[in-house]
Amino acid sequence: MAVIFVVGMVVDYMRLAFIEKPIMKRITLYIESSQSWMEKKVPF
């Protein structure tokens, strides 16, 4: 399950990186959104 999520995230990131050039901003948003997603899915 986690592997599928990571692969999907990488593919999505690559596509976004080629479409839009402000990559660092995109990475930051992606990390923040994935962290909040993980917190919702896996409450520790």
In this predicted structure, what is the pLDDT of residue 24? 67
In this predicted structure, what is the pLDDT of residue 6? 86
For residue 36, give its domain range. Answer: 2-41
Query: What's the total number of domains in the chain?
Result: 1
Cα 14 to Cα 41: distance, rounded to the nearest angstrom: 24
In this predicted structure, what is the pLDDT of residue 18? 66
In this predicted structure, what is the pLDDT of residue 5? 85
Phi, psi of 21 (to 5 degrees): -85, -30
Token code pair at residue 23: 């990559």
> What predicted TM-score, i.e. pTM, was given to this entire model?
0.35
Distance of CA 17 to the CA centre of its chain: 12
In this predicted structure, what is the pLDDT of residue 20? 61
Mean pLDDT by 10 residues, the chain (44 residues): 83 73 73 77 63
